[in-house]
Amino acid sequence: MAFEEITRRGLVLLGCGKMGGAMLAGWLARGLSPEAVHVVDPKPSDWLQSTGVHLNGVLPEDPAVALIAVKPQMMGEALPALRAMSGGRTLFVSIAAGTTIARFEAEFGAQSPIVRAMPNTPAAVGRGITAIVGNGASSAAHLDAAETLLSAVGQVVRLEDESQMDAVTGVSGSGPAYVFHMIETLAQAGAAQGLPPELALQLAKATVAGAGALAEASEEDPGQLRVNVTSPNGTTQAALEVLMDAETGFPSLLDRAVAAAVKRSKELADG
């Protein structure tokens, strides 16, 4: 299924907040016609209203895709709007953290093709990464269709098992927030050392963006790239002795942060 089939049969987006909006922005930027998109959202933002998509109207009976982007806690209230599309040709794609395929099968039937996905907000600029896994009714063609749709906003990886989704959520789903917090705090640290705050923020943003681009483009692994910055007994080494401290440094901090996200993802599965 390519954008042509979505254009013909339509795409329903249930919930268009931060993540649904980021994906929609990516699809529209890549040429998906707003005419093909039907959004259900109780309080459409000004941006959403300006896009030209159908808003809170009658939904198509047989859309190519129904993408679920409401918060896990809203499922009970929100999913019935999609029930009429069950058991047919519509591919359900959920991006909700925690909510299991079993929960969607209980709503739409196990014969409905359902793909659970975990994207991230860099999708808004085509630089997201999304992990996907399908239910038993999802054919290779359904997974290909989900991949086509989601690869319009970044990379797509396929999981062997749904149980990997909690860890994916803790690494790449929530991960952009960790990086944004690093930008914020790196800039604050620069300002604390006397830099004008705006300059410190520009330096921090460009450093994180540049390092990310280099990590992606380079054949060297991130550990070697780190070594390449670190002159013996130089400034980086002094900083890394703080950041790599076994008890208080990044390794332990990120271990605990990711574990907390994974734990919360598992809790969300329980509703």
Ligand X SMILES: NC(=O)C1=CN([C@@H]2O[C@H](COP(=O)(O)OP(=O)(O)OC[C@H]3O[C@@H](n4cnc5c(N)ncnc54)[C@H](OP(=O)(O)O)[C@@H]3O)[C@@H](O)[C@H]2O)C=CC1
Ligand Y SMILES: O=C(O)[C@@H]1CCC=N1
Angle between the 222-229 and 197-217 helix axes, to the nearest 10 degrees?
130
Among candidate residues 256, 98, 67, 253, the one with its CA nearest the CA of residue 169: 98
List beta partners, residue 134: 115
Among 13, 22, 97, 101, binds ligand Y (CB under 6 A): 97
Closest approach of ligand Y to the CB of residue 68, in Å: 13
Q: Read off φ and ψ for residue 124, nearest 5 degrees.
A: -60, -25
Among 1, 11, 12, 16, binds ligand X (CB under 6 A): 16
Residue 116: CB atoms within 10 Å = 25
Closest approach of ligand Y to the CB of residue 175, in Å: 8
According to the binding rule CB under 6 A, does residue 19 interact with ligand X? yes
Among 100, 130, 138, 174, binds ligand Y (CB under 6 A): 174
Among 1, 93, 97, 145, binds ligand X (CB under 6 A): 97
According to the binding rule CB under 6 A, does residue 82 interact with ligand X? no
- Residue 187 touches which of ligand Y, ligand X, none (CB < 5 to 8 A by kind)? none
Sign of the torsion angle spanned by Cα atoms 86, 92, 96, 97: positive
Q: Mark the binding-site residues for NADP(+), compressed into ranges.
A: 14-19, 69-72
Residue 226: CB atoms within 10 Å = 16
Residue count, binding to ligand Y (CB under 6 A):
4
- Residue 95 touches which of ligand Y, ligand X, none (CB < 5 to 8 A by kind)? ligand X
Among 3, 12, 24, 41, binds ligand X (CB under 6 A): 41
Please tell me the distance from the alpha carbon of residue 224 to that of residue 215, in angstroms, as a whole number. 10
Angle between the 175-192 and 197-217 helix axes, to the nearest 10 degrees?
140
Which CB atom, from 94 or from 169, has the smaller least distance to ligand Y?
169
According to the binding rule CB under 6 A, does residue 249 interact with ligand X? no
According to the binding rule CB under 6 A, does residue 128 interact with ligand X? no
Token look-up 């009658």 returns: 58
Q: Which two tokens stand for residue 92?
A: 């359900």
Among candidate residues 60, 65, 71, the one with its CA nearest the CA of residue 24: 65
According to the binding rule CB under 6 A, does residue 99 interact with ligand Y? no
Residues that bind ligand X (CB under 6 A): 14-20, 40-43, 69-72, 74, 77-78, 95-97, 118-121, 173
